[in-house]
A = this chain, B = another copy of it.
Amino acid sequence: MNIGTAADQANLPPKTIRYYEEIGLVTPSRAENGYRDYSENDVHRLRFLQRSRSLGFTIDECRLLLSLYDDKNRASADVKAVALEKVTEIDRKIADLQSLRDTLATLAKHCHGDGRPDCPIIDDLAGEAANAAT
């Protein structure tokens, strides 16, 4: 099938699919006219990629996951390890964001938010304040 159809079935833009080919993730055969020709298996792999990416895995992690997907002798422990590592990473990101959020919210709460220039947010950013929030 053509790239447009594959794109619809995998829920990925054609541009992205070409990119995945360029980096060696999914390499379709070519029709006589030079068009990419995607097999069912190619589409499966594309769907696998879109799902993996949407779950936050990097391209390199997707590469690994794809190889595990292909490996019928894989150990599920290997897959689980990748997933759990990602969970830990996400937890760290969430904690970081939470901390930023709290700092910003505290600063904003202390700001009058009126027409006057006094602003604890600016003061904090300028480092002139006694750390209203860290």
Contact = CB atoms under 8 A, between A and B. Distances in A.
Interface residues of A, number: 52
What's the number of copies of this chain in the assembled complex?
A: 2
A121 B77 CA distance: 11
Contacts of A117: 71-76
A7 interface: no
Nearest to A127: B47
Contacts of A112: 76-77, 80
Interface of A: 44, 47-48, 51-52, 55-56, 65, 68-69, 71-77, 79-81, 83-84, 86-87, 90-91, 93-94, 97-98, 100-101, 103-105, 107-108, 111-119, 121-122, 124-127
